[in-house]
Amino acid sequence: MILTGANGGVGSIMQRMAPRYGNISLLPYAKNELDITDADALALCFNRAKPQYVLNTAAYTNVDMAEKDPAAAYRLNAGCLSGMVAACRECGAVLIHLSTDYVFDGKKLSPYTEDDRPAPVNEYGKSKREGERIVLSYEKGVVVRTSWVYSLFAKNFLAAIPRLLAERKEPLYVDSIQVNSPTFAPDLADALYKLAGQGLASGLYQYTSEGGGCDRYTFATRIRELMTGGVGSSSGIPAPVLPLTEDAGTGGAPRPLYTVMSPALIGKELGLDIPHWEDRLVKFLRNEI
Ligand SMILES: NC(=O)c1ccc[n+]([C@@H]2O[C@H](COP(=O)([O-])OP(=O)(O)OC[C@H]3O[C@@H](n4cnc5c(N)ncnc54)[C@H](OP(=O)(O)O)[C@@H]3O)[C@@H](O)[C@H]2O)c1
C-alpha cells in the first residue's frame, strides 16, 4: 500500500503501526519524496510499485489559511486528485482518501451519517467535498471521513492539551461551543489497515471514536482529571481548565458547530469494535499506540 503525506499526523501513525500488519507492505512517501500535485510523478511512482492500495493522507489542512487562500486549498484537496485517480486507474489500485466532518454545515442535532447532505460552511470544507466527489467518481475510490484526529504525534490543539496543562501556570481556556467527534489516531489507522486487509474497494464511510462526541472543554477536562490522578508522564498539578463560551473572534474560518459523525457503517462493514472516545485518553496520555 502506497502512503502519501507520510509525515503528517495520520501518516506518522500509519508508519508506526505498519509492523502490526504483516500482510500489508507499506510504502510511505513524504511530501519531499512524492508531491501529490505532480501528476507525472504520481503515475511514475504508482506504475513502478503497482500497489493494490493507495492511501492518500496528504492534504491542505489549515482551515483558517484555506479561507484566505482557497485556490491553494482547492489545488491540494481536490484539483490534484484527478491526477491521482488517473494514476490509480492505470495500475488498478484502489484509492483510499481521507475527508472531514467539515463537509457538513453543523445544523443537525444528531450524528451525521453517510446519507446526510454535505453543505460545507468554509473553504476547507468546500475543497474537501470537491475532493470526495472526484475520488467517488472512480470505481475503485474509497472515502473515509474523520474528525479531530489526535495522538501525541499530531500537531493540533487536542494533541497539545497534555503539554499545555503540564507547562502552564495560568488557566487554559478551551472552547465549549463546537461539538465534534474526537478520533484516537491509532484506531483510525487500524481501521484503514483493516479496510485494505479485507479488500474493501469502493464507497463512502465515516470513522471516528464512539460516544456521541464532545466539546474541546470537556475533552480537556477529562484529560486534566486523568493527569491529576497520575496518568501520563508529567508531574505536578496541571493548569486549571476553563470554558470559553463565546466565539473568541479570531477572524478565522467559520466552523460548523455540531459535526458528530456516526461510524456505524464502517464498523459493521469491517467488524470493528469502535471504542468510546473517553476510553482512549489513558492510552493517549501514556503515548501508547
Ligand atoms: N487531523 C484531523 O483532525 C483531521 C480531521 C478531519 C479530516 N482529516 C483529514 O485527514 C487527512 C490527514 O490529516 P493529517 O491530520 O494527517 O494532516 P497533516 O498532519 O496536515 O498532514 C498532511 C501531510 O500532507 C503533506 N503535504 C502537503 N502538501 C503535499 C503535497 N503537495 N504532496 C504530498 N504531501 C503533501 C504535509 O506536509 P507539510 O506539513 O510538509 O506541508 C503533511 O505531512 C487529511 O485529508 C485531512 O483533511 C484530518
- Per-residue pLDDT, 232: 87
Q: How far apart are CA 242 and CA 221, in angstroms?
A: 8
Which comes out higher in pLDDT, residue 233 or 268?
268
CB-facing half-sphere around the CA of 107: CA atoms within 13 A: 7
Pocket test for ligand 1, best of 61, 144, 151 (most atoms within 8 A of CB): 61
For residue range 258-282, what is the model confidence (pLDDT) as tens digits?
A: 999 999 999 999 999 999 999 999 9
Residue 168 three-state SS: coil
- Per-residue pLDDT, 233: 80
Q: Measured from the CB, is residue 209 less than 6 Å from ligand 1?
A: no
Question: Is the pTM here over 0.85, yes or no?
Answer: yes
Q: Measured from the CB, is residue 57 less than 6 Å from ligand 1?
A: yes
Residues marked active site are found at 124
Q: Measured from the CB, is residue 118 less than 6 Å from ligand 1?
A: no
Distances (CA, A) of 229 to 26, 216, 222, 235: 38, 20, 11, 10
Confidence of residue 71 (pLDDT cuts 50, 70, 90): very high
Q: Which residues contact 87 (CB under 8 A, 6 or more apart)?
A: 39, 42, 43, 45, 46, 47, 54, 93
- Per-residue pLDDT, 228: 95
How close is the Cα of 9 to the center of ligand 1, in Å? 7
How close is the Cα of 76 to the center of ligand 1, in Å? 10
Domain boundaries defined on the chain: 2-285
Residue 5 three-state SS: coil
- Is the pLDDT score of 251 beyond 80? no
- Per-residue pLDDT, 250: 63
Q: Measured from the CB, is residue 146 less than 6 Å from ligand 1?
A: yes
For residue range 49-70, what is the model confidence (pLDDT) as tens digits?
A: 999 999 999 999 999 999 999 9
How close is the Cα of 4 to the center of ligand 1, in Å? 9
- Is the pLDDT score of 192 beyond 80? yes
For residue range 87-146, what is the model confidence (pLDDT) as tens digits?
A: 999 999 999 999 999 999 999 999 999 999 999 999 999 999 999 999 999 999 999 999
Pocket test for ligand 1, best of 12, 31, 46, 277 (most atoms within 8 A of CB): 31
- Per-residue pLDDT, 247: 67
Has domain 2-285 been given CATH number 3.40.50.720? Answer: yes
How close is the Cα of 58 to the center of ligand 1, in Å? 4
